[in-house]
């Protein structure tokens, strides 16, 4: 339903031109990278806050009027999390992009939410520091988006995910109140952990306006390269054994034969047309011993080649090709496109099972399914490649995509390892967590956002048919009209 955004012009915002109702601007905020065109929704207005005070003013005014607010910045999300499905205001945080303070003595940096991830490394690099958990999209996505989805990347196997490196957050609640969650101390046992509740909440509980991030020293030794196998079973077994044996690896990425072929075509590599594993090792000393340890384990699984040396241009080329694989999949075949970006994670002991399930499913239905991902932490990215112009094939692709998610949950895993729930994974939330747990999530949502204005339509399965979140029978009776 359309909302009158006229009240926004009267707000005392810091930035000229901070509010726009121009058709082209609104259309450019109708979704994010992962939003299918049919699911895009045009907001009634776009607002670019310049400060925490601006965010507070916008949220307070919208909350009073029951106007939905959908946070957005770089719009690189893959599950439609920044889609304004109920119109209202698109709150574009991309202008809040300052690195506020670097404290090398504490291994910390304060940033605004619109900062691009790679800019953090640029700001702290002269101090011999870096931000280890950057996702593969770190050079185009924002820290705020990473926090919203609890993102992770190729180095998660060694360093953990973004959530593990967030110390303190400043955030604005839907009613405009500003809170601080966490602290700048490296540990605390004081009170409820609201910081970790906000992290991964996909903009449904609060809008982050400042984050204190932990940093690490740049390792003195970096080695990298690749290994190839004749079968997918050998590759996944080698990865599982390396992780369970405790090999100290910073990156361990799997590409199946289809993915390797696509990477070759797009990036001009010379990978074998078979399962390939990209490897990177970080240490201040003794890295050669870890490489040798990994080689020994891989050799017990009939590795065909193992080429790892001090990281240089060749390793950078491999990692860049892996980062570009999502784009490569879309451009590989003129008649085939990914039905949706797959993102499941299972316990490492089950990694071979989920990869094998996906491959066999593709072979059974004669549908290409490319399997790749951050194998060291059990994360499988997959793309079911179908002809979108064929309605039957499209529905088959969606069915196969869902079967892989269901199998991952059966194996003790999750529907989404790093992309978030957004619009695309709502129907799996109760399947993964159970109805009672999801009901508790709804009560948390109500406590933060009783009027359901903040990123409504995301996470909860009951919003699939277009309704706002059902906040429950005990929701406030005098809350504003939500339609």
For the ranges 195-199, 285-289, 325-329, which has the lowest average pLDDT? 325-329
Give the closest residue to 254 by CA, choosing from 341, 374, 353, 359: 374
For the chain, helix, strand, coil in percent to 5 are: 40, 20, 45
Residue-level pLDDT at 463: 53
Question: DSSP assignment of 296-328, as one string?
Answer: HHHHTTT-SEEEEEE--HHHHHHHHHHHTHHHH
Residue appearing with tokens 């549908």:
367
CB 87 within 8 A of CB 68: yes
Output the pTM of the full model. Answer: 0.91
Is the pLDDT reported for residue 312 higher than 90? no
**Interval 141-153: pLDDT, tens:** 999 999 999 999 9
Residue-level pLDDT at 91: 97
List the domain boundaries for the chain: 99-217, 221-410
CB 209 within 8 A of CB 111: no
Please tell me whether residue 80 adopts helix, strand or coil conformation. coil
Is the pLDDT reported for residue 465 higher than 80? no
- How far does Cα 160 stand from its chain's mean position? 14
Is the pLDDT reported for residue 313 higher than 50? yes
- How far does Cα 330 stand from its chain's mean position? 19
Residue-level pLDDT at 470: 55
Is the pLDDT reported for residue 483 higher than 90? no
Question: DSSP assignment of 86-129, as one string?
Answer: T-SEEEE-TT---EEEEEGGGTEEEE-TT-BHHHHHHHHGGGTE
Residue-level pLDDT at 50: 95
What count of other Cβ atoms lies within 10 Å of the Cβ of residue 119? 19
Average pLDDT on 236-261 reads: 96
Contacts of 116 (CB under 8 A, 6+ apart): 74, 97, 138, 139, 140, 141, 142, 143
For residue 468, name the pLDDT band (cuts at 50, 70, 90): low
Higher-confidence residue of 394 and 474: namely: 394
For the ranges 3-17, 110-124, 308-322, 367-381, which has the lowest average pLDDT? 3-17
Residue-level pLDDT at 319: 84
For the chain, percent of residues with pLDDT exceeding 70: 95
Thinking of the domain 221-410, which architecture would CATH place it in? 3-Layer(aba) Sandwich (3.40)
Is the pLDDT reported for residue 482 higher than 80? no
For residue 471, name the pLDDT band (cuts at 50, 70, 90): low
Contacts of 79 (CB under 8 A, 6+ apart): 34, 341, 416, 419, 420, 421, 422, 423, 424, 425
Average pLDDT on 81-97 reads: 96
Average pLDDT on 229-237 reads: 97
For the chain, percent of residues with pLDDT exceeding 90: 82
**What average pLDDT does the structure give for the chain?**
92
Average pLDDT on 410-422 reads: 96
99-217: what fold? 3.30.465
Higher-confidence residue of 13 and 302: namely: 302
- Measured CA to CA, the distance from residue 11 to residue 438 in angstroms comes to 36
Residue-level pLDDT at 317: 87
Cα distances (angstroms) measured from residue 334 to each of 17, 134, 331, 386, 387: 41, 32, 7, 11, 9
Residue 248 burial class via C-beta count within 10 angstroms: exposed 0-12, middle 13-18, buried 19 and up: middle
- Measured CA to CA, the distance from residue 343 to residue 418 in angstroms comes to 7
Is the pLDDT reported for residue 362 higher than 90? yes
Contacts of 32 (CB under 8 A, 6+ apart): 72, 75, 76, 77, 78, 80, 81, 82, 83
**Token pair for residue 25?**
């601007």
- Measured CA to CA, the distance from residue 423 to residue 431 in angstroms comes to 16
Please tell me whether residue 475 adopts helix, strand or coil conformation. coil
**Interval 387-403: pLDDT, tens:** 988 999 999 999 999 99
Is the pLDDT reported for residue 474 higher than 80? no
Average pLDDT on 16-38 reads: 91
Give the closest residue to 180 by CA, choosing from 165, 164, 198: 198
**Helices 351-365 & 391-410, crossing angle to 10 degrees?**
160
């Amino acid at each position: 339903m359309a909302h009158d955004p006229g009240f926004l012009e009267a707000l005392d915002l810091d930035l000229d031109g901070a509010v726009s109702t121009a058709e082209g601007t609104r259309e450019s905020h109708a979704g994010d990278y992962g939003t299918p065109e049919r699911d895009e929704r045009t907001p009634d207005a776009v607002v670019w806050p310049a400060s925490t005070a601006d965010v507070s003013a916008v949220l307070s005014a919208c909350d009073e009027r029951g106007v939905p607010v959908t946070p957005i910045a770089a719009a690189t999300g893959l599950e439609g999390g920044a889609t304004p499905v109920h119109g209202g205001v698109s709150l574009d945080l991309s202008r809040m992009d300052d690195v506020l303070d670097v404290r090398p003595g504490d291994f910390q940096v304060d940033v605004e939410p619109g900062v691009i991830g790679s800019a953090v490394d640029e700001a702290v690099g002269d101090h011999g520091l870096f931000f280890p958990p950057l996702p593969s999209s770190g050079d185009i996505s924002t820290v705020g988006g990473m926090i919203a989805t609890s993102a992770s990347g190729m180095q998660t196997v060694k360093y953990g995910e973004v959530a593990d490196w967030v110390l303190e957050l400043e955030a604005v609640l839907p009613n405009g109140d500003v809170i601080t969650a966490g602290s700048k101390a490296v540990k605390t046992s004081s009170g409820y952990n609201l910081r970790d509740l906000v992290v991964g909440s996909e903009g449904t509980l609060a809008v982050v306006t400042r984050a204190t991030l932990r940093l690490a020293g740049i390792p003195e030794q970096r080695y990298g390269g690749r290994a190839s196998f004749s079968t997918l079973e050998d590759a996944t077994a080698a990865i599982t054994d390396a992780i369970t044996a405790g090999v100290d690896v910073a990156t361990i990425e799997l590409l199946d034969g289809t993915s390797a072929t696509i990477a070759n075509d797009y990036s001009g590599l010379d990978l074998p047309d078979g399962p390939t594993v990209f490897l990177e090792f970080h240490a201040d000393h003794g890295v050669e011993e870890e490489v040798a340890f990994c080689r020994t384990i891989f050799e017990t699984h009939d590795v065909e080649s193992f080429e790892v040396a001090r990281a240089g241009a060749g390793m950078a080329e491999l990692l860049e090709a892996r980062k570009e694989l999502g784009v490569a999949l879309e451009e590989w075949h003129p008649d085939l496109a990914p039905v949706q970006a797959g993102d499941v994670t299972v316990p490492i002991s089950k990694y071979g099972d989920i990869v094998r399930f996906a491959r066999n499913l593709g072979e059974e239905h004669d549908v290409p399914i490319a399997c790749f991902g951050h194998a060291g932490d059990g994360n499988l990215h997959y793309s079911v490649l179908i002809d979108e112009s064929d309605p039957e094939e499209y529905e088959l692709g969606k069915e196969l995509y869902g079967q892989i998610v269901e199998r991952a949950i059966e194996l003790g895993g999750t529907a989404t390892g790093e992309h978030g729930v957004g619009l695309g994974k709502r129907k799996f939330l109760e399947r993964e967590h159970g109805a009672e747990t999801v009901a508790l999530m709804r009560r948390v949502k109500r406590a933060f956002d009783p009027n359901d204005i903040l990123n409504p339509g995301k996470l909860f399965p009951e919003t699939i048919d277009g309704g706002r979140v059902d906040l429950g029978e005990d929701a406030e009776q005098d809350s504003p009209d939500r339609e």
